[in-house]
Amino acid sequence: MKKADLPEAFVNRVSTDSFLGTALLDALNEDQPIAVRINSLKGASVFNELERIPWSKNGFYLKERPVFTLDPHFHGGRYYPQEAGSQFIDSILHQLQLPEDPIILDLCAAPGGKSTLIADFLAGKGLLLANEVIQSRSRILKENLTKWGAKNTLVSNNDPADFEALSNTFDCILIDAPCSGEGMFRKDPDARNEWSEESVNLCAARQKRIIMDIWNSLKLNGYLIYSTCTFNEQENEANVRWVLDQTDSELVSTEIPQAKAGRNGIGHYALPSELKTEGFYVAVIRKREEERVQKNKPKKKISLTRIKPENWLEKWAHTDQSEFLQWNTFLFAIPAGKPDLVENLHLQLRIIKLGTELGEISRKGLIPNEALALGNELLSDQIPDIPLSRKEALHYLKGETFNLPGKQGFHTVSFEGTKLGWIKHLGNRFNNLYPKEWRIRMRID
């Protein structure tokens, strides 16, 4: 399908901007590079002999775009398709002077590429809260983080203004701000039709509001990572300068291999005319001002109960290095030492993913949740697993049933070592417990 022409006003601006150059216009009409990031929390790469992305520890370019839907490893969270420029965040995180167990907020997180990157960076330490204001997108974010398998992740569905209630909470906040999307012109043809100068103005104003909404929740000496997928100065360097003028903060110097330094040295760009990327901008600000500590009344009564691990639980999950919370009839595992923080977040926000959901407690015992099957190093070795062929795995992911040898009871199923989910074997058949909303809908034969 032929792409729509680039917006005339955009072409005129880029043509007169020596920083960007007209080569950018040509690059935006070329084929996009395909990149993935490997989930180091789940073992070795499922790809061989790929070109590495210089600024991302686990990032690689693919020679061509596969049908990800037809790869069981993709559904099992062994990797995530993520645009190479946005993986600048990996290089930046490794340069920040964060505490050993940092508390990180990814504010505008859906669909989850940068959240899974942060989870990979944390490697089980600290805590990540990934937030998305749009409810439908927050469910996709939850799915992708669940498949990634990191226990130290939460997902919330809140407006940025709701975080004003969480004073002095986060060591680092990533704001991948909603923007005019100029960097998406090659990847998403619809972005060309939606762009306008008015959109640029509206986005720049909204970005300022978002930053100020969450500023008080950033700790003293904490880091704000600000990024967009656009090229214009108004949404990028000018907004960073505005934050520096409005607050007691400082620009943090970082180095990103092969990136282009921003205008006046403010931040870095991935330009499609210079790198195998889409468009991306990122800058880092460090907070220096004293905190405005405010006391906030809980928005709801606490409904979390701390559970001491009992013998029956060890059948399902490794209980060391974890603490357990019950929310109504559901049981969750979170990192050890984090209940107070998690309970406070649960009080103030609409949490839709709470660590790793183990399952629902019923009269007959635990009904396991898919998150337990996909969780890294949490699933008990006592749980039997049934390896599937590629064809069987795809039919399982469609929600189908078929003949499968096995004993009665709950089993995980896997493909080439990648856990996919649960079945309940009935002896001569099995119930497919793969979540309906995750199931493959395309033809697989």
Catalytic residues: 229
Is 197 within 8 Å of 232 (Cβ atoms)? Answer: no
Q: How far apart are CA 148 and CA 75, in angstroms?
A: 9
Q: Which of 107, 128, 103 is nearest to 118 (CA)?
A: 128
Q: How far apart are CA 69 and CA 63, in angstroms?
A: 17
β-strands 356-362, 79-81: how paired?
Answer: unpaired
Q: How far apart are CA 133 and CA 206, in angstroms?
A: 14
Q: How far apart are CA 337 and CA 342, in angstroms?
A: 10
Which residues does 176 contact at the CB level (< 8 Å), separation at least 6?
86, 106, 107, 108, 109, 114, 227, 228, 229
Could you list the beta-strand ranges (E) of 132-213. Answer: 153-156, 170-176
Cis omega (within 30 of 0) for bond into 111: yes
